[in-house]
Homo-oligomer: A and B are copies of this chain.
Amino acid sequence: MAEASTVEEAPSLRRRLHIQLAPQAWPSTGLSPLNIAACLLIVTSAALAVLETERGFIEGYYRPVVLAEWVFASIFAVEYLVRLWVAGEDARYSGPFGRLRYAATPAAIIDLLAILPVLLAIGGSEVFLLRLFRLLRLMRLARLGRFSDAMTNIAAAIRSRGPELLLSLGAGLLLLVASSSFLYLVEGGTQPQAFGSIPRAMWWSIATLTTVGYGDVYPITPLGRLFAAVTAITGIGLIAMPTGILAAAFSDVLQTRRRREKPGLTPLS
């Protein structure tokens, strides 16, 4: 209807909005002003959602929080409708069912889930956590400009050494089972609460292999401590291994790129 009444100038406005809203349509590097504003709104709204889980905060600032919620929900609702309207500019979503196809994309569903609960006044203490899903949209927007190159490099490095990284993970899992079994056999009798079964001992084993070391559980018998020392030292190896693989992979990706960009001097041209 609104569309019909603005037949003359609509294409121009929709086009201009499309250029602002669709990251791929923006001609220069980086994000359009509207998308920068959207990013800031998403981050602020997510930060608010995080803070709202703190009882003290919501009790102290009940009114401004509810107000902010409504403001955010309204802005995102308008943004949702505008994106739905503008989607027609995109070749993928043109045609009679184009809008429906756009509304069925994961991005649009995330956007809808993030506003519907507030608009429909659905309560429940965890519903507003849905807004955190919006942070996923930042990842999509991050695939732009200089970050796009960086993401391609990282993805290329990880993919090129995928089997080596998976093997490291596999070795880590075997080590996890082995050290948990040892500690279960050695410490299970002394500390049944912490090492009374292999799944229980795994909690300790994870904390040791990743060098987190909470210190809520640890072996107390000499033999258990010996095994724990071996586990901790091999844990260093498990950190060094993927780090070394990734370092070599990044080095490789950078060199391959450079060689492709500057193909070098052919010996005899």
Contacts and interface: CB of A to CB of B under 8 A. Distances in A.
A54 B200 contact: yes
Nearest to A253: B248
In this complex, the member of A142, A215, A242, A247 whose beta carbon has the largest number of chain B beta carbons within 10 angstroms is A247
A10 interface: no
A90 to B, nearest CB: 27
A54 B181 contact: no
A244 B158 CA distance: 11
Nearest to A176: B229
A163 interface: yes
Complex copy number for this chain: 4
Interface string A68-106: 000000000000000000000000000000000000000
A44 interface: no
29 contacts: A51-B198, A53-B184, A53-B188, A53-B198, A54-B196, A126-B185, A132-B177, A132-B178, A135-B177, A138-B170, A142-B167, A142-B170, A151-B167, A203-B225, A206-B232, A207-B213, A208-B212, A211-B213, A213-B213, A213-B215, A214-B218, A215-B215, A215-B216, A243-B246, A244-B250, A245-B246, A245-B247, A248-B254, A251-B252
